[in-house]
Amino acid sequence: MASTSKRQEMWNLSDMVSYLLDDEEISAGLTKDDLTSLHNPDLGFLQVLRGALEYQGFNPKAILREMIRRRYTYIAAQKEEIVWDLTNKEGEFRTTPASKASDCISSNGPLVKDIEILIFMFLHRNNHISKIIKKSLPGIASILEHLREKYDINDETRKSGTALGVSDITLPRIAGVMPAVAVKLFHARLVKETVPFLTIPGVKYDDEISHDTDTDVAGASGSKVSNITHAICCPFLPSLHPKAAKGPSHIHGIMLYVAIRLDDIIHRKEKDITCLEDLATYYRAGYDSPVTPGATRLEVMKRVGLIEKTSGEFSAEAKRINRACTKALESLRSEDPFHSTLLNMVRSGAIE
Greater confidence, 338 or 268? 338
Do 143 and 212 belong together in one domain?
Answer: no
In eight-state DSSP terms, residue 105 is: E
Residue 185 lies in a domain: no
Predicted pLDDT at 249: 86
User: Three-class SS of residue 329?
Assistant: helix
Range(s) of the domain holding residue 305? 194-348
Average pLDDT over residues 1-9: 53
**pLDDT over 90 (residue 245):** no
Do 250 and 118 belong together in one domain?
Answer: no
Residue 84 lies in a domain: yes
Do 113 and 30 belong together in one domain?
Answer: yes
Residue 228 lies in a domain: yes
Do 85 and 226 belong together in one domain?
Answer: no
Q: Burial of 238 by CB count in 10 Å (0-12 exposed, 13-18 middle, 19+ buried)?
A: buried
Residue 186 lies in a domain: no
**pLDDT over 80 (residue 260):** yes
CA atoms of 134 and 156, how far apart (whole Å) = 15
Do 174 and 29 belong together in one domain?
Answer: yes
- The pLDDT tens digits of the residues spanning 288-335 come to 899 999 999 999 999 999 999 998 899 999 999 999 999 999 999 999
At 137, is the pLDDT very low, low, confident or very high (cuts 50, 70, 90)?
Answer: confident
Predicted pLDDT at 213: 43
Number of H helices, E strands in the chain: 15, 5
Do 26 and 78 belong together in one domain?
Answer: yes
Predicted pLDDT at 350: 86
In eight-state DSSP terms, residue 230 is: G
Do 244 and 300 belong together in one domain?
Answer: yes
Q: How many domains does the chain have?
A: 2
Do 217 and 108 belong together in one domain?
Answer: no
CB 193 within 8 A of CB 201: no
Residue 5 lies in a domain: no
- The pLDDT tens digits of the residues spanning 183-201 come to 999 999 999 999 999 999 9
Last residue of a domain, one of 152, 179, 206: 179
Residue 130 lies in a domain: yes
Q: How far is CA 72 from CA 6, 62, 107, 247, 259, in A?
A: 29, 16, 12, 48, 36
- pLDDT averaged over every residue in the chain: 87
Last residue of a domain, one of 111, 144, 179: 179
